[in-house]
A and B are shown apart, each in its own frame.
Chain A
C-alpha cells in the first residue's frame, strides 16, 4: 500500500533560516496522524509543503505517490486543507462558501456539507464573519471534507477553540474519519488531547523529525524505570532518553529496556515520552527492535 505521505531529505529554508532539515517520513494511509512540536518547530511549514502551498528547498515530498508541488487539479483534489485560524471569506454567507467550494472543485459533495452544517444548526444565510469561532471552524471543516479528500491536513485546528467547540470539532472530524476512512494529518502543540483521537505520532523539534511512529508501538517501547540513585548506566536498562535524579532515587525514561533487580517498571504516558524527546533534543532510532 502506498504511503499517504512520504518525504526524503526534505529541507525548507526561508532566506537564511532553516525551517525543516533533512526530514524523512513515511506516514501510512488510513490513520489519524498527529504532528506535534513546540512553536517554531516547523509544523506549519511541513503541512504547507504537504498541501503544495510551498515547494521544498531540497529533497522530495509525495502525497499518495505524487508530488503536491505539481499543482494539478487531480493532485489538489486529493487533499483537503484547513489552515491555522481556519480562514474563510468573511463577507461570504455560508451558502456562498459552499458555492465557492462547488465551483472550484471536481468532486465537491455539497449535499454532504449542507447536511453537516444543518446538524450543527449553522444557518446558510449567515455571513461567515458573523459566526462564532467554533462555527467558523466547523464551516471550514465542512468545506474541506466536502472535497472528499484522501488526505485531510489540519493546521492547529483546535488552538483557537474553547473546550466545548474543541469537543464538537473532534466529534465531527472523527465521525468523518469513521465514515470515509480518510487519512488525517493534524498539528498541535498540546499532546494530552491527542491520545484519544490519534493512532500515529510525528514529533518535530527544531526542524527535524524526533519521533515518527505508531502510538501503540511507541508506548510499548518506552517505559519509566525507577531505582536506586546511580549515575552509572547499566545497559540492561535500555536506551535512556531522559534521566531525573532525586536524593535517593533515579528515574529513567528508556526505550527498549526492562527493569533489572532493584528497579521498578512503569508504563510511560504519551506526554512523558514526547516531552522527554523534546527536552533532550534527541531523535528516535528508527530501526525498530522486535519486542521479545
Chain B
C-alpha cells in the first residue's frame, strides 16, 4: 500500500496533497497495489470523497479533539500508530511547510530515512526511486531506499493531478490515543494578513522583481499585474529583499524559496546564480531587463531587452485584452 498524508488548511484539502495522491496512484498502478489517504484532525468525514476522486481506495480518518490544531508531536504519533498497523510500503507527503515539519519527525519515530522535496518518482523492480534537487537545483540526486517504509516528500506544483475518477472507497475511522502532555508545542494562532497574497511556492504564475525595480513602491506595478492573473504571486530577488523593499517571504533563490510555476516573469533581475537555482525548474521563464548581457537571458524562453517601467504599462493593457 502507498499511504499519502492529506493536509488540511482552514477546512480545505491542499491541492499539493492531491498532487501527491495522484503520484501515489500512478506508482500504485505500476506496483499493482492500492493507495490510501490519511487525514488527521477533527470532523473529517465530509472531505473524504475528494480523496477517492484522486485515486485512493481507502481513507483513514485519525480523529481526536487534541489534533484539531496542527502539532508535529501529536500528528507524528497518530501517523506512527497507523503505519505500525497498516504497514504501507511507501509514504508520500507534500513538501509544504507542514509536510517538511511532520515527515522527518515521523521518519525518526520509524527509524527510517526520508527523501525531501522530490521532483520525480518512479518504480524499479517493485522499489521506489526518486529524484531530488540539491543545492537548490544546481545538482540532482537519484535515490533509492534501503529501509521500509520508503518515505518521500514531493515538491508542490510539480506533479500533475490525475483526471478525477468517479469512484468511492472505504472510510476507516481510527481512534487515536494522544495524551495532552505528549504535545509540548502547539499552534495557538495563525497570523494571516488581510488580503494576503498567494505564496510563491503555490502560485501558477510568479512575477518577480529585482534591483531594477529601484524601490519598494514600484512593487505595486507587479501587484497590479498579478491582480489581472489568477493563481499568481509576487516574487523577489535577494537584493530586493535585502534592500528592504519587500518581505523575505517573497524571496526566490537559494536562500529563499524554490519555485516551479508554469510561468516565471523576472523584471529587473540580472540572474545571479543563486537566484537562477531557485527558479530554473519553472516551466516557462520570461525576463525583462535593460542589460542585454544579463545572465537571466541565458535561461529565459522569452527575453525583452528594455526598460521595465516602459514595458509594464503596455503589458498590462495586453493582459487586460486577454481577459
A binds B: no
Which A residues are closer than 8 A to B by beta carbons?
Answer: none
